[in-house]
Structure 1
Amino acid sequence: MILLENISKVFPSKNGDIEAVSNVHLHVKKGEIHGVIGYSGAGKSTLIRCVNLLENPSSGKVYIDGQETTKLSTNQLRNVRKKIGMIFQGFNLLKTATVYDNIAIPLRLLGFSKEEVNKRVEKYLSIVDLTDKHHTYPSELSGGQKQRVAIARALAQEPEVLLSDEATSALDPETTDSILDLLLKINEELNITILLITHEMNVIQKICDNVSVLEKGKVIEQGSAIQLFANPEHPTTQKFLNTISQRKLSASLISQLNLEGVVARLTFIGENTGQPVLAELTQQFAVKPNILTANIIELKNGIIGNLVIHLAGEEKIVDEALQFLRSKEVGIERLEGE
């Protein structure tokens, strides 16, 4: 649905060119929710603005539904943009217009009849649960309600793609969850493809099918959400994951606990999360597992369990015990004190 081929964006400055996005390849399939996560300054906003060509890439190609948009005329591009809705962190609502008019005005400018405008405003206010706010002004709404109006405005043009530029980062956790639930509903019920950017790992956790990690304008890791949560390879991805689950034990902590033997992180995916493998381990091997940290992460498409354990026992038997765990499709990472 969305294909970015070797996209780069360079901004000139007095101190030399700044490459905000560097040779990015990104494929978002129709009907999926794809998250791009990165720290501030990673190039996320520039990248998403290249999708609808609010920023023209310095090099590379953009395809929307198989059509290369980077070579279209202004009029042709205007037609393609009708397929793409966008929501922003700052809502971008007209302060002097009611909720109804904030949604209706763009439709009127596109030439829709009064009847069609009214039909669409009613439909999408219902979808975002704001049917009682027709005559309300933005100043009378909460942050979450403002974002719902912005989402209804984007949906009213009935796009095939919805771009989300840090749409939840200005909201409190409870409101963030409600907006994420709404995006899931939109994706599932309206079959709208969503590309979102965020610096919040809980957003990726809750709604994304696939993820790209961006750092200094480059994609440093990419894959399904389950793959990245189960086996993050890049240190930056690992740091993001550590914000929602303790994945690291410091060398000083291991020393304080006097942990002689093996300290290992065990990763369980899907059905394996509920298996009593540690009980089986103690029954079959002369080892004593001590659980140091544990958590279960619920993703959109699965569950991942993490245990950090200390195994005390003879080295040979501990190795056999770890091999047993691998045979049960448990991921093993030995920790030396990080």
Structure 2
Amino acid sequence: MIRLDNISKSYVTNRSSIDALKGVTLEVKKGEIFGVIGYSGAGKSTLIRCVNLLEKPSKGKVFVDGLELTSLSSKKLLASRRKIGMIFQGFNLLKTATVYDNIAIPLRLTGVSKSEIGARVDKYLEIVGLSDKKDAYPSQLSGGQKQRVAIARALSNEPSVLLSDEATSALDPDTTEAILELLLKINDELGITILLITHEMHVIQKVCDRVAVMENGEVVEQGLTKDVFTSPSHPTTKKFVNSIFNHQLTNELLENLGDNGEIVSLKFLGHSSKDPALAVVSKKFDVYPNILSGNITQLKEHPFGSLLVHIKGEESEVQRAIQYLKEQNIQVEGAGHHVKNNKRIS
């Protein structure tokens, strides 16, 4: 549905050139929710604006629904953009227009008939849950309601692709959750492909089927969300994953553990979280697992958990226990380090 082929974008100033994107290649499949995550300055916003050519790439090609946008004339590009909806962090609503007119005005400008405009406004306000706010003004709405109006406006052109540029970063946690549920609903019921950028792990966890991680204008890792975040390879990806599970141990706790055994970090996905692996380990081997810290979160449809465990016992038995855990598809990290050398494992 969306394909970026070796996209680069440079901004030239009087004294220097800034490379915002460096040879980015990725593909978003039809009907999926694809997330791009990265820290500030990674190039996320430039990337998403290159998809509908609000920013024209310096090099590379952009394809949307089989059409190469980078080869189109201005007139044809304008027509193609109507099938690419976009929502922003700042809502971009007209303050002096009602909710109805905020959705209707762009449709009028593209020549949609009055009766069709009315039907579309009603349809998409109902989808976003704001049918009763048709005559309200933006100043009378909460932040979440404003974003819902912006989403209805983006949907009113009945696009095949929806771009989300940090659409939840200005919202409180509860409102963010509601907007993410709405995006899931839109994707499921309307079949619209969604490409979103964010710096928030929760957004990726909640809605994304696949994810790309960006740093310094490059995609450093990409794939299925559950694969990328359960087996991260790049330091930036690991940093994002570690932000979910931040296991902190005090020196006092470490001293109380004694000298026997190892501290290991166990990560598990899906069905592994339901298996009593530690209970089995304590019976199968001469070791005593002690859970020091733990958390379970959700990667869209898959539970993803992390435990920090002190496995007490003789070295040979500890290593046998660790090998058994690995055989149960549990990721084991930190093995080989004595308890006194473990002050923090994430």
- Say if 2:76 is the partner of 1:76: yes
- Say if 2:46 is the partner of 1:46: yes
Mapped contact 1:48–1:197 kept (Cα < 8 A): yes
1:303 paired residue number: 303
Matches of 2:53 and 2:235 in 1, distance apart?
31
- Say if 2:227 is the partner of 1:265: no
1:89 paired residue number: 89
The equivalences for 1:292-331 within 5 A come to 292-331=292-331
Alpha-carbon spacing, 1:325–1:165, altered in 2? closer, same or farther (3 Å): same
Matches of 1:257 and 1:75 in 2, distance apart?
72
1:56 paired residue number: 56
Mapped contact 1:62–1:68 kept (Cα < 8 A): yes
CA shift at 1:310, angstroms?
1.1
> Aligned AA for 1:125?
L
> Aligned AA for 1:18?
I
Moved over 3 A (4+): 248-260, 335-338
- Say if 2:175 is the partner of 1:161: no
Q: Deviations over 1:17-44 (max 9, x none)?
A: 0001111111100000001011111111
> Aligned AA for 2:185?
K
Mapped contact 1:35–1:204 kept (Cα < 8 A): yes
Counterpart of 1:295 in 2: which secondary structure? strand
> Aligned AA for 2:245?
S
Counterpart of 2:107 in 1: which secondary structure? helix
Mapped contact 1:229–1:304 kept (Cα < 8 A): no
The equivalences for 1:194-233 within 5 A come to 194-233=194-233
Mapped contact 1:259–1:310 kept (Cα < 8 A): no
Counterpart of 2:334 in 1: which secondary structure? strand
CA shift at 1:333, angstroms?
1.3
Counterpart of 1:243 in 2: which secondary structure? helix
> Aligned AA for 1:236?
T
- Say if 2:8 is the partner of 1:8: yes
CA shift at 1:162, angstroms?
0.2
1:125 paired residue number: 125
Matches of 2:222 and 2:287 in 1, distance apart?
37
1:34 paired residue number: 34
Q: Deviations over 1:311-331 (max 9, x none)?
A: 111111111111111221211
* Structure 2: segments with no counterpart, 5+ residues: none
CA shift at 1:241, angstroms?
2.1
1:110 paired residue number: 110
Matches of 2:258 and 2:65 in 1, distance apart?
55
CA shift at 1:258, angstroms?
4.7
Alpha-carbon spacing, 1:257–1:194, altered in 2? closer, same or farther (3 Å): farther
How high is the TM-score relative to the length of structure 2? 0.94
- Identity among equivalent pairs (%): 59
Counterpart of 2:243 in 1: which secondary structure? coil
Alpha-carbon spacing, 1:75–1:276, altered in 2? closer, same or farther (3 Å): same
> Aligned AA for 1:114?
K
CA shift at 1:233, angstroms?
1.8
The equivalences for 1:137-148 within 5 A come to 137-148=137-148
Q: Deviations over 1:247-298 (max 9, x none)?
A: x556968755556322111122111111111111011100111111111111
Counterpart of 1:11 in 2: which secondary structure? strand
Matches of 1:154 and 1:243 in 2, distance apart?
32
Counterpart of 1:70 in 2: which secondary structure? helix
CA shift at 1:244, angstroms?
2.5
Mapped contact 1:91–1:146 kept (Cα < 8 A): yes
Counterpart of 2:132 in 1: which secondary structure? coil
How high is the TM-score relative to the length of structure 1? 0.96
> Aligned AA for 1:17?
S
Mapped contact 1:226–1:301 kept (Cα < 8 A): no
Alpha-carbon spacing, 1:311–1:187, altered in 2? closer, same or farther (3 Å): same
Matches of 1:259 and 1:120 in 2, distance apart?
68
Moved more, 50-59 or 266-275: 266-275
Matches of 1:231 and 1:278 in 2, distance apart?
21
Counterpart of 1:53 in 2: which secondary structure? coil
